[in-house]
Amino acid sequence: MPDQPASDSVETLLDDMLQDVGHSALKYSTWKNTVLSAFLGTTGSDYQNELMIVGRALNGNNGTWLPPEMQDQARRSEVVENAAHQWDNRGLNWVLKYWKQIRACEDCQENYFGRKSQCPKCRSSKTKRLYCTRTSAFWRVIRHVVRNIPFPESLWDTWANHVAWTNLYKISPSGGGNPTTSLRQLQHPYCEQILRLEIQAWQPRRILFLSGYDWMNHFCEGLGIAGQITENAKFVQFAGTLTSTGAKVVVGPHPQDRGAKPERDFAKEIATYFRQS
């Protein structure tokens, strides 16, 4: 696995951002009482600098903190520690693991594959369906993209392990959904610096923003991305390069958006733009 961004720098930025959120919480009634999650990106275990994916923000997580709590240094440290190490020892393998439907039994505490509501071990019907990555348009499109750019066919079954993944915004509602406009504006300066460090550490040859150009364009100048809006494309909204490294940059709508359907055609067009010199 490649080097991760310099931990002290990323974690310090995240701590500073959380502190700012804590001190600013009373100003913003729209999210001051919202349980939030903190996020930092990661790479797959077999990442070889081919493709970096950037989404909007994490759609739900196990966050258990409220903005005013971030005024407390000890509480902030807990949140930073969790965000910095939540992907340890698994990278993006969880995307592959949860591609199949998994259910959890409340009685025997076992997880099992399958759609049947009755636990095969203890026969209890007190089971619940866990998150399945195959139901996510975001991960489905990434899978199609990997199969359309120069990844050997032998790697297709483990596709998630060969990409890097992060998001534009690192703080979002724990219950799902995107951060509000005010929360995005507050964290933007920090997130731009963190994203720059992630790119420097992971050195991708291709960067795919599945965020929509309306979300990503605020980061272009700070990251040093030059390019143009793709007026004649059906799906791709912007194509360019990262001026510091020459990495190819493609921007498309979020895969859940109506403008990203059908997904296979969307992925093929992305691959076409990446292949262009």
Domains of the chain (ranges plus CATH)? 7-98+133-275 (3.40.470)
DSSP secondary structure letter of residue 272:
H
- Report the SS3 class of residue 63: coil
Report pLDDT for 169: 98
**Torsion angle in degrees (nearest 10) through CA of 193, 197, 198, 204:** 120
CA 240 to chain CA centroid, Å, is: 21
Find all residues with CB under 8 Å of 6, minimum gap 6, and list them: 197, 201
Q: Give residue 246's pLDDT.
A: 97
Instruction: Show the tokens assigned to 236.
Output: 């791709």
* Predicted pLDDT of residue 6: 60
pLDDT for res 20: 95
Q: How do strand 248-252 and strand 206-210 relate by DSSP bridges?
A: parallel
Q: Give CA–CA dist 114/191, Å, rounded.
A: 39
Cα separation, 100 vs 89, whole angstroms: 20
Give residue 2's pLDDT: 55
Measured from the Cβ of residue 234, the count of other Cβ atoms closer than 10 Å reads 9
Per-residue pLDDT of the chain (277 residues; tens, 9 = 90+): 555 666 569 999 999 999 999 999 888 888 989 999 999 999 999 999 999 999 999 988 767 899 999 999 999 999 999 999 988 877 899 999 889 877 878 888 878 777 788 888 888 887 777 778 988 999 999 999 999 987 888 888 999 999 999 999 999 999 899 999 999 999 999 999 999 999 999 999 999 999 999 999 999 999 999 999 999 999 999 999 999 999 999 999 999 998 899 999 999 999 999 998 5
pTM: 0.90
CA distance 9 to 183: 22
Whole-number pLDDT of residue 3: 58
Distance in Å from the first CA to the final CA of the chain: 28
Listing DSSP states for 109-157 in one string gives --EEESS-SS-TTT----EEEPP-GGG-HHHHHHHHHHTTSS--GGGGG
